Chains A and B, each alone.
Chain A
Amino acid sequence: MNNKDLIAYTIKGMKHRQLRSWLTILGIVIGIASVVIMISLAQGIQGDIQASLDKLGSNYVAIAPGSLNIGSAFQFGPPKLKGILTVRDAEAIARVEGVTDVSKNIVLSFTPVEYKKEVVNTNVIGVTPSAYKKFLTIGLEKGRFIEDGDASGIVIGHNIATDLFDEEIKVGTPLTIKDKTFRVTGVLNSFGQGGNNVDDSIFLDERAARLIAGDSFDKNRVSSILALTDGKTPPSEMSEKISDRLRSLHKVKKGDEDFTVLTAESIAQQVGQITGLLTLFLGGVAAISLLVGGVGIANSMFTNVLERTREIGILKAIGASNKEVLQLFLTEAGIIGLIGGLIGIFLAVLASFAISAFGVSSGVSIGVALFALIFSIGIGMLSGYYPARNAARMPPIQALRYE
């Protein structure tokens, strides 16, 4: 029997048992669709995070207070979060070889901002404008960035301009932040997903931010420090140099740091670890549903063999060999896997369009689809193999007498 005959014979049989064939296929559809959706989603999230990291360039080192050790995903217990950073730290970092600019950042989250009697709370971030401008590579949509020491200028994120207030905020508009009135000098381009709230933040000079914060923010303290580097020294080495300097300033030993130094590289690494785990977890959940689909095929094939015992006997009586009977049943299992896989991938593509509409980019890559299809046919044939072998080995007389 050639392949064309095998397939034609099998499809005629499956049409005859349409309901059960479709139910078996459905099991595989669900399994494959969930595997493909989960993997694509995880890949999408990973891609999004990487894309936002790329927008920040790579020649920077960020220093945050407290030890936020997320280096190991299997670390138990709360991270150590104590410790503060000071202006002195920032000045020391500025003197480290290879550092070109340092931004002293002051984060005032949930600060009331007023425009035409409308008050909204949002992030207000004090920065060293000359340094921060170089770090924020998204650039301005309109206007210009603030200058160092600018006491009355502010730069606003894209959402602040378009969404936060009833009216659009344009360059030159006055905004009142805690009794002080500032004038918008520029509007940033949209950062998009994963931008750590850049789109929802207002940037101003560090000293102006201290005036807004008043006594509630110690005059020596900074929220975080951003060091830009010349790009000649590898990021990991820069990170180590800065850590060294801070350790001696804070009088702490290696491993007991009360600060965290992050580079684009280390962030990407940690994010990679987390999304890797996410992929593994989501994939695992999906694999279970695929396994259930496989059990469904095996079950259906067993019923199939039992139900078609007579047919197996007839086929053998009129000349079918064991191998041909095996091929027939394996072809059926393979076709179930193929159709289930194709429909599953199709549904996954539809679902990832829907997911993308919610903001997470999720696309089914050709690689994932191809893998899923081969996997689906494979699981179909694997779970169909044992029942098919049983069918093939059945002695013809016994099969013919089966009632």
Chain B
Amino acid sequence: MKEVLKLEDVKKHYLMGDSTVKALDGVDLSVNEGEFVAIMGPSGSGKSTMLSILGLLDSPTSGRMIIRGKQVSHASEDELARLRGKEIGFIFQSFFLVPTLSTTDNVALPMMLYGVSEKERRTRAKKLLEQVGLGDRADHMPSELSGGQRQRVAIARALANDPAILLADEPTGNLDSKSGAEILKLFKKLNDEGITIIIVTHDPGVASIVKRTIHLKDGVVEKEERRKKE
């Protein structure tokens, strides 16, 4: 199995007044291609910091992070932006679609930022929308879609540049249980197609469908569970 993501002794310390908050205090993690991982933990466990660092939105204070064999920790702001667009497919709790853009344009947006030609963008966006089951909503505006549909668009957008990992932050948190279950089913289907997925959540229901769960507590990995394929 090819390793797509590796964290080595990653620490993130914040200075708050006179005291140092150790949000992450030495985390090691290795994720292989095709894995389906949940990162869980109560609030204050370092989950959000972990998400920011995995999503390349923040740099660690120390330690190394490697994506697809490339060292990415301590990259410049511009390099981080480029890597976010290419290697990370971000999925948010509140969907975060751009309200002024149509479904297709939203999905095409990361490709536009990455410099993919317009023709190629449209073709790929259409294919991705079909992949998430929204082939018939290509020209809708986000405001015309239900929560579950919006999250599907967000997933299609996350897949746009063929990233190393799909990184989801509480993807079912703003959805009713039926839509939530459908989104999880979609994640499972995508994972079966070979896509690497990391879900950061405190929802135990999510943990039941993943193959591997990492529990964070006080900024360190407390325990790790692996499930055999059913």
- Contact surface of A with B, Cβ cutoff 8 Å: 1-2, 4-5, 9, 12-13, 15-16, 310-311, 313-324, 395-397, 400
Contacts and interface: CB of A to CB of B under 8 A. Distances in A.
Given A319-B84, A400-B96, 14 more contacts: A12-B105, A16-B99, A316-B81, A317-B90, A319-B81, A319-B82, A319-B110, A319-B114, A320-B81, A323-B78, A324-B113, A395-B57, A397-B58, A400-B92
Contacts of A321: 77-78, 81-82
B165 interface: no
B109 A318 contact: yes
Interface residues of B, number: 29
Contact of B85 (A16, A311, A320, A400): A320
A2 B116 CA distance: 10
Contacts, number: 72
B175 interface: no
B55 interface: yes
Contact of B81 (A4, A16, A322): A322
B113 A320 contact: yes
Contacts of A397: 52, 57-58
Contacts of A313: 96
Interface string B70-92: 00000001100110111000101
Contacts of A2: 115
Contacts of A310: 96
Chain A binding surface SS class: helix
B11 to A, nearest CB: 18
B196 to A, nearest CB: 18
A9 B98 CA distance: 11
Contacts of B109: 315, 318
A317 B86 CA distance: 11
Contact of A317 (B57, B105, B114): B57
A390 to B, nearest CB: 16
Contacts of B100: 12-13, 15-16
Contacts of B85: 318-320
B43 to A, nearest CB: 14
Contacts of B86: 319
A13 B57 CA distance: 25
20 contacts: A5-B118, A9-B101, A12-B101, A13-B100, A16-B99, A16-B100, A310-B96, A311-B99, A314-B96, A316-B57, A317-B92, A317-B96, A318-B84, A318-B109, A319-B86, A320-B113, A321-B77, A322-B78, A322-B81, A397-B57
